[in-house]
Amino acid sequence: MMSRLLAAVAVSCVASLADAQPRAVYLNANVHTMDPARPRAEAFVVEGGRFVAVGSNADAIAAAGPDAERIDLRGMTVLPGLIDAHGHMAGLGALGLGMLDLRLARSYDEVVAMVAARARITPPGEWIVGRGWDHESWPERRLPTHDALSAAAPDHPVWLSRVDGHAGLANDAAMRLARIADDTADPPGGEIVRDERGRATGVLIDNAMAIVRAAITGAGVGTTEELLLKAQEMCLAVGLTGVHDAGVGPDEIETYRRLEADGRLKMRIHAMVAAAHAPRHFEEHGIHVGPRLSVRAAKHYIDGAMGSRGAWLLDPYADRPVGPGGDAWHGLAVTQPEAIEAAARHALAHGYQLCTHAIGDRANRAVLDAYERALASSPSPDHRFRIEHAQLLHPDDIPRFAALGVIPSMQPTHCTSDMRWVDARVGPERARGAYAWAGLLRTGARIAGGSDFPVESHNPFLGLHAAVTRQTAEGDPEGGWHAEHRMTPDEALRAFTLDAAYAAFREETTGSIQPGKHADFIVIDRDPLTTDAEAIPATRVLRTVIAGETVYENEPRP
């Protein structure tokens, strides 16, 4: 009852704001509608927060009537509001509010220098927390050890998450507080990395990271509300009108609901409840579907990431065939398949969506198997279960997504970040199944496009570029990496609009510019469907509009 009441309050509040908006007609635009019946238009009318007419200038003027506000877009391109189908709002907001950002560090020495600089302005004993280091971007391309970090900040416990979020580096002070010694046992689904003499290096992978995280105190850069509002501000500036927030806890859910109720949540958020909280949450509250916030999904994990060699593979890693115990190294199952099947059964019983992180080919197969078993006993024609990332697939499993109605939620910039080392990780033959966008689309799957920010940039135009080129912004490699899996420009835009909306059960109200749908759209300075691909990353957002309200505006350059 409480859930339904709060949802009703939110609907009333936001609807009243939309109803107060005057009728407006937008003219002289290059509109990509994503409506198959009318893919292109030059004008549209907005009233009450929705599109009421779409077509030619003459048609729109006639539909708008003489009293409508006229907005001349002077030939600018208009797209439906872009949707990131996998991001982490609090994490993005933390970087925006000053968390130590290591994503641009090009060596371990640079990481150490950044930590030393932060230590000089941080009281002794306080935690220093950062994220984003990537040893594959360093000259030596080796996992670091804590020694230099411990020497640079001896009076501060330090915890630095790797860029993929599936490994981290602790200094000596942090390991002491977390009670990690050389002989501390690896937890199930995790690894405490040790050197050739058996000493803990400070690197912790997957479930082992929880040992340090449990010891961290007082390292926040803002309240939950401040983090979410900062992330919203950053997203609106790059043309995102919706985000699927992957793995939220009770505090974030409550904050989102409060922001929706008082009208400060402008974006449309599809919240995935973190696995640890999901069963109880949905048993007690059911699902919530408001105008800006939906809470009707759960986020689980089955493995780690390829970058830190924690993704769960069918065959051993090509560049780490043997693990620390002398057995073949296949990566890590952070959750057993039986638990994923149980979660799927619970989701089907309570009417919510299950979204499971799976990166390795064995992990993806195990999740598909678990979903298939659960659906066999409890058929649901519109479950829209998802696999988040689906990065490495065995050829036999590619057609299973469409056959089971499972949505691959994929992040194109992961491909262009990781392609430097994927062949080394899994060998060139298995790499043919990495980021297999075209292969999935040919089988009828609907790909929900995202970024996994702040692992990657939250700028969706980098994702569109990666999807159509499989190249870096500098054009490497020539022709694209495994170019047979490139998307067409239309397919890429659909992944970030209609199919991302579909993945959140919102395709009837968002994802395209059509009469009756929410007036969520962006105005940009170039046409990403026709411009040279290398120009897409530099796209500038001139205006972001949600439900007819301009929520971001940036004047075009003369």
Nearest-5° Cα angle at 549, 254 to 16: 65
Closest to 239 measured CA to CA, from 81, 89, 126, 71: 81
The span from the CA of 486 to the CA of 469, in Å, is 6
The span from the CA of 29 to the CA of 520, in Å, is 15
The span from the CA of 371 to the CA of 352, in Å, is 14
Strand extents, DSSP E, 149-209: 158-162, 167-170, 190-194, 200-206
Distances (CA, A) of 79 to 42, 69, 244: 12, 20, 19
Asked if residue 401 lies in contact with residue 440, where contact means CB atoms within 8 angstroms, the answer is yes
What lies within 8 Å, CB to CB, of 83 at 6+ separation is 240, 241, 242, 243, 244, 268, 449, 496, 497, 500, 501, 504, 510, 511
- What's the confidence (pLDDT) of residue 20? 61
- What's the confidence (pLDDT) of residue 324? 87
- In the structure encoding, which two tokens stand for residue 304, read together? 């780690």
Closest to 299 measured CA to CA, from 349, 368, 375, 354: 354
DSSP string for residues in 538-549: G--EEEEEETTE
- What's the confidence (pLDDT) of residue 81? 98
The span from the CA of 117 to the CA of 529, in Å, is 44
The span from the CA of 368 to the CA of 374, in Å, is 10
Q: In b/e form, how buried is each residue of 391-428, taking b as 16+ CB within 10 angstroms?
A: bbbbeebbebbbeebbbbbbbbbbbbbbbbebbebbee
DSSP string for residues in 254-303: HHHHHHHHTT---SEEEEEEETTTHHHHHHHH--EE-SSEEEEEEEEESB
- What's the confidence (pLDDT) of residue 365? 98
Chain Cα centroid distance, residue 214 = 24
- What's the confidence (pLDDT) of residue 557? 54
What lies within 8 Å, CB to CB, of 8 at 6+ separation is none
Distances (CA, A) of 362 to 109, 331, 336, 401, 427: 36, 10, 12, 15, 15
The span from the CA of 509 to the CA of 471, in Å, is 33
Instruction: Give the amino acid at 206.
Output: D
Chain Cα centroid distance, residue 254 = 21
Asked if residue 434 lies in contact with residue 422, where contact means CB atoms within 8 angstroms, the answer is yes
Closest to 334 measured CA to CA, from 307, 356, 352: 356
- What's the confidence (pLDDT) of residue 218? 79
- Sign of torsion over alpha carbons 431, 437, 439, 445: positive
- In the structure encoding, which two tokens stand for residue 7, read together? 């949802």
Q: Which residues pair with 78 in a beta bridge?
A: 31, 523
Residue 449, helix vs strand vs coil:
strand
pTM for this entry:
0.92
> What domains, with CATH codes, occur in the chain?
100-213 (3.10.310.70), 223-508 (3.20.20.140)
Asked if residue 454 lies in contact with residue 95, where contact means CB atoms within 8 angstroms, the answer is yes
Q: How many CB atoms lie within 10 A of CB 478?
A: 8
Helix (H) or strand (E) holding 14, with range, is: helix 2-19
Nearest-5° Cα angle at 412, 406 to 415: 110
Environment class of residue 491 by beta-carbon count within 10 Å: exposed (0-12), middle (13-18) or buried (19+)? middle
Helix (H) or strand (E) holding 444, with range, is: none
Residue ranges of the alpha helices (H) in 142-223? 147-152, 172-178, 209-213
- In the structure encoding, which two tokens stand for residue 19, read together? 């109803």
Chain Cα centroid distance, residue 202 = 27
What lies within 8 Å, CB to CB, of 474 at 6+ separation is none
For the chain, 558 residues long, give each residue's pLDDT as a single digit of tens.
Answer: 223 223 333 343 444 445 467 899 999 999 999 999 999 999 999 999 999 999 999 999 999 999 999 999 999 999 999 999 999 999 999 999 999 999 989 999 999 999 999 999 999 999 999 999 999 999 989 999 999 999 999 999 999 999 999 999 999 999 999 999 999 999 999 999 999 999 999 999 999 999 999 999 877 789 999 999 999 999 999 999 999 999 999 999 999 999 999 999 999 999 999 999 999 999 999 999 999 999 999 999 999 999 999 999 999 999 999 998 899 999 999 999 999 999 999 999 999 999 999 999 999 999 999 999 999 999 999 999 999 999 999 999 999 999 999 999 999 999 999 999 999 999 999 999 999 999 999 999 999 999 999 999 999 999 999 999 999 999 999 999 999 999 999 999 999 999 999 999 999 999 999 999 999 999 999 999 999 999 999 999 999 999 999 999 997 654
Helix (H) or strand (E) holding 334, with range, is: none
